[in-house]
Amino acid sequence: MASALTIENMPPSAVGRATGAPLDPVGGDEDLRFHALLYPNRSLTPDGFRRVIGLVVGVNLINAIVYITLGAWPVAFFCGVDILIVWLAFQASYLSGRRHERVMLTEDALWVSRVLPSGHETRWKLNPYWARVRIDRPVRHETQLRLTEKGRTLVLGSFLSPKERGELAEALDAALCDARA
């Protein structure tokens, strides 16, 4: 049975605007025991977006022409509004796709960085000896991947598919166990 949604209560180590430079606490990948860069899934490519918008414009243009010839010219305005709404919805989707999270494990720290679409970045530094990975099994759509440390909780990869969250939980848990050994 799945538990209720967890509220994050882990205070960040640092907040601010993303500088464009990725979080790199060790100066290179040679000292990393685990590294994951998490992005939301986007199934529509830019070419697919152009095709869909082209289809929407084409259908609405035909509808507008038909209604104008029938004398219902105000309908053409709403066809234009329809195109605008579809375009804005795609833009909002692509904007939310800029959100990402980075998880990096070094010998002495587990770093988590979350960058929102606005560019606001939040970073957490956890002790790998205290950090634990928690996820309900079986993994379902509403299941959360949680990092806990001393009673505080951080939710990871909320935008990932259930399968991806499960795989990330297994890999991160294994890396943390290796770091503690």
Residue 158 corresponds to which tokens in the numbers above?
């909320």
Residue 3 in this model has a pLDDT that exceeds 90: no
Residue 57 in this model has a pLDDT that exceeds 90: yes
pLDDT in tens, 99-136: 899 999 998 999 999 998 888 999 999 999 999 999 98
Spell out the residues 6+ positions from residue 168 whose beta carbon is closer than 8 angstroms to its own: 36, 38, 103, 145, 156, 157, 160
Say what the pLDDT of residue 94 is: 86
Say what the pLDDT of residue 2 is: 46
- Percent of the chain whose pLDDT exceeds 90: 61
Residue 87 corresponds to which tokens in the numbers above?
């375009």
Which of helix, strand or coil describes residue 166? Answer: helix
Residue 23 in this model has a pLDDT that exceeds 60: no
Calculate mean pLDDT across residues 128-153: 91
Residue 25 in this model has a pLDDT that exceeds 80: no
Calculate mean pLDDT across residues 143-147: 92
Residue 71 in this model has a pLDDT that exceeds 90: yes
Q: Helices 74-96 and 46-69: crossing angle, nearest 10°?
A: 170
Residue 146 corresponds to which tokens in the numbers above?
């949680």
What pTM was computed for the model?
A: 0.75
